[in-house]
Chains A and B, each alone.
Chain A
Amino acid sequence: MQVLRPATPAELAEAIAEAAAEGVPLEIRGGGSKAAIGAPRRARILDMRGFAGVVDYDPAELVLTVRAGTPLADVERLIAAEGQMLAFEPWDHGPLFGAAGETATIGGVVAAGVAGPRRLTAGGARDHLLGFSAVSGRGEAFVAGGKVVKNVTGYDLAKLMAGSWGRLAALHEITLKVLPRPRVEATMALDGLEDAAAHAAMARAMGCHAEVCAAAHLPAAVHGGRALTLLRLQGFEPSVTARCAILPGLLADHGAVRLLDRAEADTLWHGVRTAAPLADAAVLWRVNVPPSGGCAVARALAPLGARWLFDWAGGLLWIACDGDPARVRAAAEEAGGHALLVRAPEPLRATIPFQHPRRPGVAALERRVRRAFDPAGVFETGRYMDEADAHRIQ
C-alpha cells in the first residue's frame, strides 16, 4: 500500500491534486486508530502525522491552535498542565481494535466527531472546533472559521468538517476551544436499577439544579450482575458538595444514592467512554437516539442476545449484537436515531455500511456537499459504501 507523508500544506495540496488527477483514491489517516471502521478498501494512504506540534496556545484566551497530526495524548497533556481540558472528552479508538498504546491524533478525533460522556452537556467535537486550515479534494488549500471563541463570519464550515470522516478535505491545522478543568469531580451512583427506571432517574437528574454533566447506566449484564447508574458532577468544591446533596432526596424513590470513590468512578467513566465493558464483542454498535428512545432500542434487540450500556442520559447506546444488522438499524430508526457500526469482522463490514444510511433527500444533499469539496471523489475510497464511484474491494 502506498503511503504519502506530506509535511507542508504545499506537499499536501500536491499529493491530493495528483491523486485526483490520476483517479487514485486517497485515505486521510492520522494514527490509524479507526482504520478498521468501515468497509475494507484499497487506497493510497495520506499519513497526516507530518503535521505535528502546537501552533499557538494562550490558556487565558481558551483557544488552542495545533497541527492536525499531533497525538491526542500530547494535546491532552499539554493543556492539562495549564489546568485545562478538551471538554468534549475525545478518546482513542486504538485499544478497541487491539492497538497497544496511544495512536489517535487530534485531527482524527475531530474528523470522526469522537466525544465522550460530557458530550451530553458540554457539546461534541463540532462545538469545540473554531476554525481550521485544510486542503480540499480539489487540491486547494483553504481556511474557514477563526481563532477566537465567538465568530459568525461566513459559513460555519468547521461544523461540516467535524465528523466528516475525511470525505471533504484534509485538515492540517485546527483551532479548538479549550476550557478550565473542573477543580472537583464527584460521581453519585444508584444500584440495581432496571433500564427504564435508570432512564427515569437520569432524566429527572438532568432536569434539576444539580447540573449533572454526565449520566450513564451499566445494566447488570455488563457490570458483574449488578446494574449501576452513574451521575457525574463537576465544578468548584462548595458547589459540587451542595449539588450532590440534592440527588439523594430527588431520587429517593429509586433507592439509595451513594458517592463513589474517585478512582472507582474514573475507571467506570473510562469504561463508559470507550465501551470497555463490551470489549469482547465481535460486533459493536454505537446507537444515538433521543434519551427517551434508548430503552425501546434495548428491548428490541434483547431477543437477539444483545448486551448494551447507556451513556448521554440514555441517548447513546453501546451495543454488542451479532444478530441481524438490519434489526439494529431498524430499532435505532424507530427510536428516532441512527446506528454506527463501530467494530465488525471484515465480511460484515464489506456488506453493511458503517454509517446509518440517510433518507434519500438528505443523502443527495450530502453528496452534493461532498462534491463541492471533492468533485473528483478522490476521498471516496469505498469505506462508506454510498458512492457509485467508490473503489471498494469486492
Chain B
Amino acid sequence: MSLVMPEPDEAVLGRRAAIIAALRAIVPGEGVISDPDALRPYESDALTAYRQPPMVVVLPETVAQVSAILAWCHREGVKVVPRGSGTSLSGGALPLADAVLLGLSKFNRILEIDYADRIVVAQPGVTNLAITRAVEEAGFYYAPDPSSQIACSIGGNVAENSGGVHCLKYGLTTNNVLGIELVTMEGEVLRLGGRQLDPAGLDLLGVVVGSEGLLGVVTEVTVRILPRPETARAVLLGFPSVESAGQCVADVIAEGIIPAGMELMDRAAVHAAEAFVQVGYPLDVEALLIVELDGPAAECDHLIEAVARIARANGAGTARVSRDETERLAFWAGRKAAFPAMGSLAPDYLCMDGTIPRRRLPEVLRRMQRLSDAHGLAVVNVFHAGDGNLHPLILFDTNQPGQLERAEAFGNDILRLCVEVGGVLTGEHGVGVEKRDLMPAMFAEIDLAHQQRVKCAFDPALLLNPGKVFPTLHRCAELGRMHVHRGQLPHPELPRF
C-alpha cells in the first residue's frame, strides 16, 4: 500500500508483554486480545485496502475501565486507536503496530428512552439501527441513516459525523446529538452538552462530533428522536442527460421542496444495478433520479405531483411514482445495490466521497470522464444529488500490478477536482487515512495548524489515533509558538479613535 503511517516505536513494541499485563489488570478475562490469530479481525475497518494488526486489542465494559486504560497509556506513552464497529470507509479505525486498539463493542446497552423530551441515551457500541428499533413501537426513529446502519455504532457515528441518504432534510449526526460523555486521553471523564439544546459555553460537543476519534473516547451518547413520518413515497425519474437531471434537482429546491432523499445514478450505475437486482429501472436513460418525499399523506401526494411536473418540464421520459411500500422499496433496492453491483464489473472498487456545489455537476462529470480515460480505469457515479455529495466508484483489479496505485491516483484527482470547483474532500466518510494526505489541497498549513491546536487542547501528547486526519502531526510545543507580526507594525492606514 502507498500509505505511510507513523513509524512504530520499537521501545513500545519491546514492552508489549508488560503492556498486555497492565491491560489485563484493568480488564480481566477475555477483554484483552493478544493472540495473533484473534487480532486478525481487527486489522482493518471497511477501508480494506489498508491493513495492520494492532499490538493488542482491549474491550472494556465500564467507563472506569476506559478511563483507567487511557490514563495508563497516557502515563506510559502508549498510543491508542478507538474503534466502534469497524465500518469506517476512510480508515478511521485502522490499527497501528505499536498502539492499543480500544474497542467499544461491549458498550452495547440503551440506557434510557425519554419520549417526553424525545431523547435516547445509549452506550457508544449500540448500532445506529438499534436506536430506531428501540423506539419504533412508540412511533419514533433516529433520523441519520448511514447505509451501514445495521452494523455501524452510534459512537462511531459521533466520531465520523455520519450522514445518510436523508440528511439533506434531517441533518447529519451533529445535528441530532445533544450530549456525550467523553473520556480524554488523560483518563478524565467529561460531560459535553446534555439534554438541552444549547451549551452553557463553547460548543465542545460540536467539535468532538466528526473529530474521527482524535479528541477523546465517547462512552455515552444522547440523541434526539423524531416521530416517524406517516408516509413515504418515491418517484423514479429518467433523464436524457445528466444536465437535465441536475437542473431538475435545482428546480425542485427552487420550488421550496426539500425532499427526504434525492439520489442520482449515471448510466453505468443504472445498468449495473438493474443487472444485479432487476427492479425495472429504465435502461434508455443517461441519468436516473430517485426522489423520496415523506410526511403526512396529503403532503406526499401534493409534492410528488409537483416533483413529477418539474421533472417532465426538464425532459424526463420516465416518471414513475411508487404505488405502495413494496414498489418504493424496489426503487431503493437498485440504488442500494449500486455498490455490490460493482462486483459484476470489476473485482475491486474505490468509493470516493467529495461534495461539490450542485451547479458544477455537469462539468465535474465531464472532467471525471477525461480523468477516467487518462488513468485507464472506469468510473461509475452515484450521487446524493440534493446536497452535492458525489460517490464516484473507481473500478480496478488489485491483482493487476499497479492498478491499486492508479485507482488511488485517479481518486485523488477526483477529490482535487471537487475542491477546485468549490467543494470539499469528504461529505460523509471522513478523512481518516484515505484523504489525509490530500488535506493540503483544501487547507493551507495555517488552517491545519488551527485545527491541530484543538487536538493539542484535548490530547497534548498526541497519543490518541495518531496518523489520521492530519498529513503531518506537529508536536504541540512546536505549534504553540506565537507568530508575532511585530516589526511590521504600526499600520498608519488603520483608522484610530
Point out residues on A near B: beta carbons under 8 Å: 1-6, 11, 13-15, 17-18, 20-21, 58-63, 83, 113, 115, 119-120, 123-124, 126-127, 136, 138-144, 146-160, 162-164, 167-168, 179-183, 203, 206-209, 211, 235-236, 238-239, 241-243, 288-292, 312, 315-316, 336-338, 340, 355-359, 361-363, 365-366, 368-373, 375-376
Provide the bound-state CA to CA distance between A316 and B198, in Å: 10
The list of the 9 closest CB pairs from A to B, nearest first, reads A159-B206, A239-B299, A180-B256, A372-B453, A242-B298, A338-B200, A368-B457, A290-B195, A17-B485
Q: C-beta contact mask, B410-432 vs A, less than 8 Å → 1, else 0? A: 00000000000011111111110
Q: C-beta contact mask, B325-367 vs A, less than 8 Å → 1, else 0? A: 0000000000000000000000000000001111100000000
Chain A's nearest CB lies how many Å from the CB of B387?
4
B210 touches A156 (CB 8 A): yes
Which one of A63, A138, A147 has the greatest number of beta carbons of chain B within 10 Å?
A138
Look across to chain B and name the residue whose beta carbon is closest to the beta carbon of A17: B485
**Contacting chain A: which of B14-22, B95-103, B266-274, B441-449?**
B441-449
In chain B, residues 455-475, which have Cβ atoms closer than 8 Å to a Cβ of chain A? 455-458, 469
8 chain-A/chain-B pairs, Cβ below 8 angstroms: A4-B495, A113-B198, A150-B172, A152-B428, A160-B206, A236-B302, A312-B197, A366-B201
For B431, list chain A residues within 8 Å (CB): 152-154
A152 touches B427 (CB 8 A): yes
Chain B's nearest CB lies how many Å from the CB of A329?
10
Q: Given that A152-B430, A206-B118, A211-B295 are contacting pairs, would A370 and B202 also be in contact in the complex, using a CB cutoff of 8 Å?
A: yes
B195 touches A207 (CB 8 A): no
Q: Given that A160-B454, A179-B258 are contacting pairs, would A358 and B201 also be in contact in the complex, using a CB cutoff of 8 Å?
A: yes
Chain A's nearest CB lies how many Å from the CB of B477?
12
Q: C-beta contact mask, B296-311 vs A, less than 8 Å → 1, else 0? A: 1111011100000000
Q: Given that A21-B486, A292-B117 are contacting pairs, would A149 and B168 also be in contact in the complex, using a CB cutoff of 8 Å?
A: yes
Chain B's nearest CB lies how many Å from the CB of A311?
10
B207 touches A156 (CB 8 A): yes
B202 touches A148 (CB 8 A): no
B210 touches A61 (CB 8 A): no
B494 touches A4 (CB 8 A): yes
For A17, list chain B residues within 8 Å (CB): 484-486, 489
Provide the bound-state CA to CA distance between A60 and B257, in Å: 11
For A357, list chain B residues within 8 Å (CB): 200
Would you call B190 an interface residue if the criterion is a C-beta within 8 Å of the partner chain's C-beta atoms? yes
For A142, list chain B residues within 8 Å (CB): 444, 446-447, 449-450
For B258, list chain A residues within 8 Å (CB): 179-180
Provide the bound-state CA to CA distance between A114 and B253, in Å: 26
Q: Given that A160-B206, A361-B188 are contacting pairs, would A148 and B388 also be in contact in the complex, using a CB cutoff of 8 Å?
A: yes
Find B194's partner among A1, A163, A179, A337 (CB 8 Å cutoff). Answer: A337
Find A336's partner among B195, B251, B444 (CB 8 Å cutoff). Answer: B195
For B298, list chain A residues within 8 Å (CB): 238-239, 241-242
Look across to chain B and name the residue whose beta carbon is closest to the beta carbon of A3: B497
For A371, list chain B residues within 8 Å (CB): 457
Chain B's nearest CB lies how many Å from the CB of A231?
14
B174 touches A159 (CB 8 A): yes
Look across to chain B and name the residue whose beta carbon is closest to the beta carbon of A149: B387
Provide the bound-state CA to CA distance between A180 and B259, in Å: 12
Q: Given that A17-B484, A238-B298 are contacting pairs, would A288 and B426 also be in contact in the complex, using a CB cutoff of 8 Å?
A: no
Would you call B196 an interface residue if the criterion is a C-beta within 8 Å of the partner chain's C-beta atoms? yes
Q: Given that A14-B494, A154-B443, A371-B457 are contacting pairs, would A148 and B302 also be in contact in the complex, using a CB cutoff of 8 Å?
A: no
Chain A's nearest CB lies how many Å from the CB of B450?
5
Provide the bound-state CA to CA distance between A373 and B450, in Å: 7
A60 touches B253 (CB 8 A): yes
A18 touches B388 (CB 8 A): no
Provide the bound-state CA to CA distance between A94 and B195, in Å: 30
In chain B, residues 52-71, which have Cβ atoms closer than 8 Å to a Cβ of chain A? none
Provide the bound-state CA to CA distance between A370 and B491, in Å: 27
Q: Given that A148-B422, A149-B168, A153-B424 are contacting pairs, would A58 and B359 also be in contact in the complex, using a CB cutoff of 8 Å?
A: yes
Provide the bound-state CA to CA distance between A120 and B206, in Å: 17
Provide the bound-state CA to CA distance between A209 and B455, in Å: 42
B359 touches A60 (CB 8 A): yes
Provide the bound-state CA to CA distance between A158 and B174, in Å: 12
Provide the bound-state CA to CA distance between A143 and B447, in Å: 6
Would you call B401 an interface residue if the criterion is a C-beta within 8 Å of the partner chain's C-beta atoms? no
Would you call B175 an interface residue if the criterion is a C-beta within 8 Å of the partner chain's C-beta atoms? yes
Would you call B493 an interface residue if the criterion is a C-beta within 8 Å of the partner chain's C-beta atoms? yes
A163 touches B198 (CB 8 A): yes
Would you call B167 an interface residue if the criterion is a C-beta within 8 Å of the partner chain's C-beta atoms? yes
A362 touches B422 (CB 8 A): no
A203 touches B302 (CB 8 A): no
Provide the bound-state CA to CA distance between A2 and B426, in Å: 44
A155 touches B454 (CB 8 A): yes
For A369, list chain B residues within 8 Å (CB): 202, 204, 207, 454, 457
A290 touches B194 (CB 8 A): yes
Provide the bound-state CA to CA distance between A373 and B482, in Å: 10
B491 touches A242 (CB 8 A): no
Provide the bound-state CA to CA distance between A368 and B460, in Å: 10
A157 touches B484 (CB 8 A): no
B428 touches A18 (CB 8 A): no
For B2, list chain A residues within 8 Å (CB): none
For B167, list chain A residues within 8 Å (CB): 150
For B117, list chain A residues within 8 Å (CB): 203, 290-292, 315
Provide the bound-state CA to CA distance between A38 and B458, in Å: 28
Look across to chain A and name the residue whose beta carbon is closest to the beta carbon of B224: A121
Would you call B227 an interface residue if the criterion is a C-beta within 8 Å of the partner chain's C-beta atoms? yes
A148 touches B446 (CB 8 A): no
For B251, list chain A residues within 8 Å (CB): 60
B209 touches A156 (CB 8 A): yes
Find A355's partner among B200, B227, B422, B494 (CB 8 Å cutoff). Answer: B200
Provide the bound-state CA to CA distance between A239 and B299, in Å: 4
Look across to chain A and name the residue whose beta carbon is closest to the beta carbon of B427: A150
Chain B's nearest CB lies how many Å from the CB of A375?
5
Find A58's partner among B357, B443, B453 (CB 8 Å cutoff). Answer: B357
Chain B's nearest CB lies how many Å from the CB of A337?
5
10 more A-B contacts (CB under 8 A) besides A316-B197, A375-B482? A11-B491, A141-B446, A148-B388, A148-B423, A150-B163, A153-B425, A207-B140, A315-B197, A355-B200, A358-B201
For A144, list chain B residues within 8 Å (CB): 443, 447, 450-451
For A6, list chain B residues within 8 Å (CB): 494
B203 touches A238 (CB 8 A): no
Would you call B323 an interface residue if the criterion is a C-beta within 8 Å of the partner chain's C-beta atoms? no
For A358, list chain B residues within 8 Å (CB): 200-201
Would you call B29 an interface residue if the criterion is a C-beta within 8 Å of the partner chain's C-beta atoms? no
Would you call B161 an interface residue if the criterion is a C-beta within 8 Å of the partner chain's C-beta atoms? yes
For A292, list chain B residues within 8 Å (CB): 114, 116-117
Would you call B13 an interface residue if the criterion is a C-beta within 8 Å of the partner chain's C-beta atoms? no
For A362, list chain B residues within 8 Å (CB): 190-192, 201, 204
Q: Given that A127-B171, A180-B253, A336-B194 are contacting pairs, would A148 and B357 also be in contact in the complex, using a CB cutoff of 8 Å?
A: yes
Q: Given that A144-B447, A153-B424 are contacting pairs, would A365 and B457 also be in contact in the complex, using a CB cutoff of 8 Å?
A: yes
Which one of B168, B388, B430 has the greatest number of beta carbons of chain A within 10 Å?
B388
For B357, list chain A residues within 8 Å (CB): 58, 61, 63, 147-148
Look across to chain B and name the residue whose beta carbon is closest to the beta carbon of A339: B200
B207 touches A159 (CB 8 A): yes
For B427, list chain A residues within 8 Å (CB): 148, 150-152
